[in-house]
Structure 1
Amino acid sequence: MQLSTRGRYGVRAMFELARRYGQGPVPLREVAEAQQLPENYLEQLMAPLRKGGLVQSVRGAQGGYVLARSPRQITVADIVRLLDGPIGPETDQEATGTPSVADPVWEAVRQAITDVLEGTTLDDLVRQAEERQRRGYMFYI
């Protein structure tokens, strides 16, 4: 399984909004610059994130985007599901209708991935980034 660009960029954009949570709307241009992402692509990602209830848009000169909920209440799984669909690999039975001996492996892989993504909130990502920064590490999300 490979996470799509939509999912990866969506998590990075949401991280930036979480990092600035409580500071008011963040213009998409600033999100793009801070995360080194194409602004045009981010515009396409914001619509499903807004419709999915994860962000709100604020119009006007001081407009931009804000998280619709606290960073503690938004998991990486929430973002990935909205942008990429179901998490993890399909079993052979799901993909072809024919069960195989490998199906339990694919189910275990999917559950492990789901557990990590559901167990990681935007707040966790922000705290981890702050800790790395305190230690002097360069990082990219």
Structure 2
Amino acid sequence: MQIRQIAAQQNIPDRYLEQLLATLRRGGIVKSQRGSKGGYLLAREPWKISLFEILECLEGLDIRTGDEDTNPKNLDCSVVDEIWQEACQAANAVLQKYSLQDLCEKRDSRRQLDIMYYI
């Protein structure tokens, strides 16, 4: 699709969308095609692109999952840090579990529910 089409469909400013797509292109999520029929398309199949990968590309996620700080300032900080790491690992697991294809399928199934008529 072309940037204008995507921007209009998603109600996103063109300039902002250009920045997002440039970042996604550098991250290998999308690729661009020049020419009159040019635009952006996925670089891989949608089931091979995880939500974690997209967010990592766009937001630069750097979620700690190891023991980087082996010398914590105090006991309180180490307890909070352990819980934070557990929360990050759980978030990573959820984001890695779902693909772009999963999002599309969830959207489509909800659309089907919206068009059902009940008597």
TM-score normalised over the length of structure 2: 0.82
Query: In the alignment, is the contact (CA less than 8 A) between 1:54 and 1:67 conserved in 2?
Result: yes
User: What SS is found at the alignment partner of 1:65?
Assistant: strand
Instruction: Identify the residue that residue 106 of structure 2 maps to in structure 1.
Output: 128
Query: In the alignment, is the contact (CA less than 8 A) between 2:4 and 2:14 conserved in 1?
Result: yes
Shift of 1:53: 0.9
In the alignment, structure 1 residue 100 sits paired with structure 2 residue 78: yes
Tell me the distance in 1 between the aligned counterparts of 2:65 and 2:113.
39
Identical-residue share of aligned pairs (%):
38
TM-score normalised over the length of structure 1: 0.70
Q: 1:87 to 1:128 in 2, by over 3 A?
A: farther
Q: 1:106 to 1:69 in 2, by over 3 A?
A: same
Unaligned runs of 5+ in 2: none
Count the aligned residue pairs. Answer: 110
Shift of 1:32: 1.1
User: What SS is found at the alignment partner of 1:103?
Assistant: helix
User: What SS is found at the alignment partner of 1:66?
Assistant: strand
Shift of 1:86: 2.0
- CA deviations on 1:38-73 (whole Å, 9 max, x unpaired) are 111010111121111111101111110000000000
Unaligned runs of 5+ in 1: 1-25
Instruction: Identify the residue that residue 16 of structure 2 maps to in structure 1.
Output: 41
Give the stretch that moved more between structures: 126-135 or 81-90: 81-90
